[in-house]
C-alpha cells in the first residue's frame, strides 16, 4: 500500500492567482439549429436635425392652432365691419345726391337757378412726353407724380393746385371724376406703395396694415376719402401709386390743341369720365 501511495502521481496544485478558464460563448441557435447573426445597428433613416425640427413643431402646435383661430376670428370681424362701412358710405352718397336734387327743385319753384358747389377733386393725366419740357413745367409734373405718358393721379383742388394746372396745361388733361370712375380706377388699376414697391390691392389687409392709424381698413374707405376730398385725402392719394393707363381706344384727337378747340389737353370737366372708361 505504501508503494502504491508513493508511485501515485501527486495532484498538481493550482496557483492562487490563476483565473478560471473563460467559457466559450455559445452562439444562439434557432429551433432548426441555424446559427443567428448579431443584428448590426443601422443609422437612422431620418436626419437628426429633421427629428429635432419635428419635435419642436409638435411642441408649438397648440399655440399655432390658437393663433390660427384668432386670425380667423379677426378676419370674420373685419369682413362684417367692412360691409357695414360700405353700406354707410352708400347711404351718404345717396343722401348728398338727393340733397342736390331737392335744392335745385326749391330754387326752380322760387324762380332762381341752383348752382352746385365747385368740385373738390380732379383727376389729372399726362398726355405728352419729355421732349422740350420747360424746367417749371417739369417741376410741376414731378410734384403731380406724372413721370410717364398716360399716368394719372387724384389732386385736391385749391388755389395753389389750380395755378400749377395752368402752368402744366399743354402737357396734361384733367377733369372732375364721378364716384363710378373713382371706384373703377381703384378696383381695376389700383396699386399701393409699400416699402418703395408697387403692390396690387389683392385684399383689404394691404390697406389696413398701412392706414390703420388713420382708421382706414378697406378699399371703400379709400374711395370715400378720394371722392369727397375727406380729411385723409392726402394720405390716401400718396399711398396710391400713380395709375398706369392704356392709350384710349380710338386714339387721341390732337395733342397740340386744347380740348375746346377739338384737341386733347386742358380741362375736360365731366367729360374726363368718358376718357377714363376708354383708358382703363
Give the domain ranges of the chain: 121-278
Residue 35 pLDDT more than 70?
Answer: no
pLDDT-derived band at 54, boundaries 50, 70, 90 = confident
- Strand 266-269 and strand 172-175: pairing? parallel
Confidence of residue 1 (pLDDT cuts 50, 70, 90): very low
Q: What gap in Å lies between CA 216 and CA 208, rounded to an integer?
A: 6
Domain 121-278: CATH superfamily is Ribosomal protein L30/L7 (3.30.1390.20)
> Which of 148, 116, 162, 140 is closest to 270 using CA atoms?
116
What's the number of CA atoms in the CB half-sphere (13 Å) around residue 170? Answer: 12
Q: Which of 178, 186, 190, 187 is nearest to 272 (CA)?
A: 178
The per-residue pLDDT for 138 is: 94
- pLDDT over 90 (residue 63): no
| Mean of pLDDT over the chain | 86
Listed residue (270, 197, 184) closest to 239, CA to CA:
197
Q: What is the mean pLDDT of residues 85-105?
A: 94
Query: In whole angstroms, what is the distance from residue 110 CA to residue 91 CA?
Result: 29
Q: Give the separation between CA 84 and CA 86, rounded to whole angstroms.
A: 5
How many other β-carbons are positioned within 10 Å of the β-carbon of residue 217?
19
Give the mean model confidence (pLDDT) for residues 129-141.
92
- State whether residue 60 is helix, strand or coil: helix
Share above pLDDT 90 across residues of the chain, in percent, rounded to a whole number: 62
Cell numbers for 6: 508513493
- Please check whether residue 214 is in contact with residue 190, taking contact to mean a CB–CB distance below 8 angstroms: no
- CA–CA separation, 31 vs 27, rounded Å? 13
**Per-residue pLDDT at 272:** 94
> From the centroid of its chain, how far is CA 275?
28
Amino acid at each position: 500500500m505504501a508503494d502504491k501511495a508513493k508511485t501515485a502521481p501527486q495532484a498538481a496544485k493550482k496557483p492562487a492567482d490563476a483565473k478560471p478558464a473563460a467559457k466559450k460563448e455559445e452562439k444562439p441557435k434557432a429551433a432548426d439549429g441555424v446559427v443567428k447573426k448579431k443584428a448590426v445597428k443601422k443609422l437612422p433613416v431620418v436626419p437628426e436635425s429633421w427629428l429635432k425640427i419635428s419635435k419642436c413643431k409638435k411642441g408649438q402646435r397648440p399655440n399655432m392652432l390658437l393663433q390660427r383661430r384668432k386670425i380667423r376670428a379677426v378676419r370674420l370681424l373685419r369682413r362684417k365691419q367692412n360691409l357695414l362701412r360700405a353700406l354707410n358710405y352708400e347711404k351718404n352718397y345717396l343722401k348728398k345726391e338727393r340733397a342736390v336734387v331737392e335744392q335745385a327743385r326749391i330754387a326752380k319753384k322760387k324762380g332762381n337757378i341752383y348752382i352746385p358747389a365747385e368740385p373738390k377733386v380732379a383727376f389729372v393725366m399726362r398726355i405728352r412726353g419729355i421732349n422740350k419740357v420747360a424746367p417749371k413745367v417739369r417741376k410741376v409734373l414731378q410734384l403731380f407724380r406724372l413721370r410717364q405718358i398716360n399716368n394719372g393721379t387724384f389732386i385736391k383742388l385749391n388755389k395753389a393746385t389750380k395755378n400749377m394746372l395752368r402752368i402744366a396745361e399743354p402737357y396734361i388733361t384733367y377733369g372732375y371724376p364721378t364716384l363710378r370712375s373713382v371706384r373703377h380706377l381703384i378696383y381695376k388699376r389700383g396699386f399701393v406703395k409699400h416699402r418703395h414697391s408697387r403692390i396690387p390691392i389683392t385684399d383689404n389687409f394691404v390697406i389696413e396694415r398701412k392706414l390703420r392709424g388713420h382708421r382706414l381698413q378697406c378699399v371703400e374707405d379709400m374711395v370715400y376719402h378720394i371722392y369727397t376730398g375727406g380729411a385723409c385725402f392726402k394720405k390716401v392719394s400718396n399711398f396710391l401709386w400713380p395709375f398706369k393707363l392704356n392709350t384710349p381706344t380710338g386714339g387721341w384727337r390732337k395733342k397740340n390743341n386744347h380740348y375746346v378747340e377739338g384737341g386733347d389737353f386742358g380741362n375736360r370737366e365731366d367729360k374726363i369720365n368718358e376718357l377714363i372708361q376708354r383708358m382703363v
